[in-house]
Each structure stands twice: as C-alpha cells, then as structure tokens.
Amino acid sequence: MEPANAAPANAGRVFLYFTPLTLLVFLVLPNGYLLDIATSFMLKNRLHATPEEIAHFRLLTAIPVYLSFGFGLARDLWNPFGMRDRGLLLIFGAATAALFVLLSQAPLSYGGLLAGMFLVMFTFSFVAAAARGLLALVSQEQLMSGRLSALWNAVSSTPYAAGAFASGYLAAHLAPDRMFLLVAALAGAIAVLGLWKPAAVFNHAYDNPLARGSTFLGDLRRLVRHKACYPPVLLVCLSQFSPGTNTPLQFYLTSELGLPDAVYGNVLGIMAAGYIPACMLYGALCRRLNLRTLLWIATIAYIVEAIPLLFIHSSTTALLMSLPMALINGFAFTAYWDLALRSCPPGLQGSLMMLVAGAYELSYRIGDLVGASIYGGAATHGFLSCVVLATATSLIMVPVLRMIPPALIATRDGEATPAV
C-alpha cells in the first residue's frame, strides 16, 4: 500500500515547534512524575507526612486538573494581548515561574506546600490548555493528527521516564528550594516560547474556519451536540481505569514479593520509556492504515494489556513484563489521542482536549482508589482481582468503538477527513 499524501513542506518546522513546547510542558507539569514524586518525597522525608496525608495532598492539588474543561473553554474564548495561545503561554508560564520562586523562598510546611502546588496547578492549567488546543488546531488544519499525536506522546514520555528513574536521586541530592528554582526556570522558558511565532504553525492558523467559535452558550451547545466528542473521552477513561497498575502493583512488588523499592520506580520508568518506540511505530503506520484499523488494533491489544502482571515473580520478570505493557499502552493511547484531535469541533479544540485530559486524570485516580480498596480488602488474590477487573473494564472499549462516526476514522493521516 502506498503511503498517504505527502507531508506538507513545513511539517518538519511544525515538529520543531511542538517538540520543545511538549517537553517543557511535561517537565513542569505539576502532576507529572518529576514534580509529583519530588513533592511526595518532600512530604514523606522532610515533613514526615503519613500515606493518608500524601494521598489527600495529591487529591486536593489535582482539583484544577479535574476541572480541565473550564480551562480549555477559556482558551477557546480568550485572546490575551491579541496573541491567542502565545499570550496564554506568556502570561501563565511567567505566573507559574513566579509561584515556584515563591515556593523556593517560603519555609517548607504541609499547608504551604499544599497551597503553593494548588496555585501552580491552577496557573499551569492555562498553559496546558494552550498547548493542547494549539496542537489540535494545527493537526486538523494540516491533516497531521496521527503524526502530531505520536510526537506529543513520545516527547511527553521522556519527562515521565526521567522522573521515574531520577526522582529518588533528586530527592536525596537536591534540596526543595533548588528543585523549585529548577522548575521555575523551565516554566520561564515556556513564557519565552510564547514570544516565538513560526509561520509554519501560526500563519493564518486562527483565520481558518476550524478555529472559529461562536458565543459562550453557543459553543457549549455545539460541544454537547457533537457526537464525535464522546468516544475519545470514554476510551481515555477506560484505558486509564487500571486498578492493578498503580498502588496495588507497588504493594504487590514490595510487600508480597519482597522486591526492593527501586523495582517499582524502574517499572514505572520502563512503562513510560516504552511509549517512545510505540509512538514511533504509530507515526509510521498512521500514514499507511486508516484510523479505524489502528483503533481496532490498539483496542484488541489493550484488552490483554494487564495480563502480563500475573507473570511477575521476581525483579527480572517485573522489568520484562513491563515492556510489552508499555508498548501496548503507548500505541493505544496514541491512537485514542489521534481520535481526540480529529474529533474537536471548530473553535473548541481546547475544550475537548482539556476535557480528555481531565477525564484521563480523574479515571486514573479513581482506578487507583478502587484498586487499592480491592487489594487492601482481600485476604488472598487481591492483586489477581485487580487484574481481572482491569481486563473486564477494557472489554467495554469494543462497543465504544462502534459509536465513532465512520467518516471520521475512514482516512489515513495526511488525507482530508469529511466534516462530521
């Protein structure tokens, strides 16, 4: 089969812009591995917080993420300084940097850290909305949803993998004030990036009909009535509701099997790093296979994704089994993100992409809570029960695939998709 239409001449320049933007966004992301694990070590080792206090800290500071849709809608309706997404990057990148500088200078306390990280999560949600909304808009205008989905997920996996592998070292060797100053510098780089306006990305981007919204109520009405919006949200929710791969896995490895604590961190690192080759594979296939085929391949593989967990009985098998899970996870999530990029209604790219992001985080947290409850409440076979539930839940993805408007997924990356 011949590949789809040739990539636009400026595709490389589009990649050149979104690569550093994506990398910076996920390095600073307050609920990403780098900061999340770093703050958990601050709470545990320096403030002597209990597991329940750490769990409550994560739950409360993530409230803005659960409300991501509101930040996405603000992105779609707001045009600060007449710069649109660049204005949001400039304003809230600088605001986030300033908050991290304040955190570095304030005495370390549970309440202060909670308030500071909540405010950081709030300001940075505008940055995330701008980055995701702009990605969706450009992917639709330049027929690059598959390739940009692969780029976004591959690049975003790097900070997750680095955070998982390096978090313990950083916690031991980098004082909290130095850590916050480091992240402040990265957030400042996002603000500077808001001054960059490459023509390949921004040339008439907001003049295109795909960028035009209506009124506040009109946009809400359009979003609710847009049937294509619902499948990507459901698929992301189902894929992230994985009761066996978070807290239960940590206790299963370290308590039941008696493996070193570092094994769990290494498993997380491999599962993040494994996204990179999976995304590269998806980026190559998306121009040869239509999205319908890719979604079915991804979903069928994902149904059995959690089963390798049952074959873990040592440090070696833990690391080996995490690799196929990472590849399946990476390929599937890139396909679902591709679908989300295609599904955005005109002028509402930020709203849908942030709705997907919020659903991702909420489903992840609920899955972890359910898994921990099952694992803690079962005298025997608790971990097995978590894996069985994860597998059963993933079967619901099959009828969700049938809800997708056929015209939306009938084309390959680079081919025009009929309006749905």
**Is 364 a residue whose pLDDT tops 70?**
yes
Neighbour count for residue 169 (Cβ, 10 Å): 9
Query: Mean pLDDT over all residues of the chain?
Result: 89
For domain 11-409, give the fold. Growth Hormone; Chain: A; (1.20.1250)
Q: pLDDT by residue (tens digit) across 309-324?
A: 999 999 999 999 999 9
Share of the chain above pLDDT 70, in %: 94
Q: Where are the beta strands (DSSP E) in 237-276?
A: none
Query: Which ranges constitute the DSSP H helices of 2-78?
Result: 11-28, 33-41, 51-61, 63-66, 68-77
**Is 269 a residue whose pLDDT tops 60?**
yes
| Residue 71 to residue 257: CA distance in whole angstroms | 43
- Predicted confidence at residue 418, as pLDDT, reads 62
- Predicted confidence at residue 164, as pLDDT, reads 67
What is the reported pTM?
Answer: 0.89
Contact 29, 162 (CB under 8 A): no
Most confident of 86-95, 152-161, 383-392: 86-95
- Predicted confidence at residue 280, as pLDDT, reads 96
Contact 239, 358 (CB under 8 A): no
Which letter does DSSP use for residue 346 in this model? T
Share of the chain above pLDDT 90, in %: 60
- Predicted confidence at residue 277, as pLDDT, reads 95
- Predicted confidence at residue 268, as pLDDT, reads 81
Question: 255 Cβ partners below 8 Å, 6+ apart?
Answer: none
**Is 116 a residue whose pLDDT tops 80?**
yes
- Predicted confidence at residue 356, as pLDDT, reads 94
**Is 1 a residue whose pLDDT tops 70?**
no
Question: Distances from the Cα of 410 to the Cαs of 209, 339, 388, in angstroms?
Answer: 22, 11, 33
Q: pLDDT by residue (tens digit) across 84-101?
A: 999 999 999 999 999 999
Domain boundaries, the chain: 11-409
> Phi-psi region for residue 258, left (φ > 0), alpha (ψ -120 to 50) or beta?
left
Place of tokens 């993040």: 272
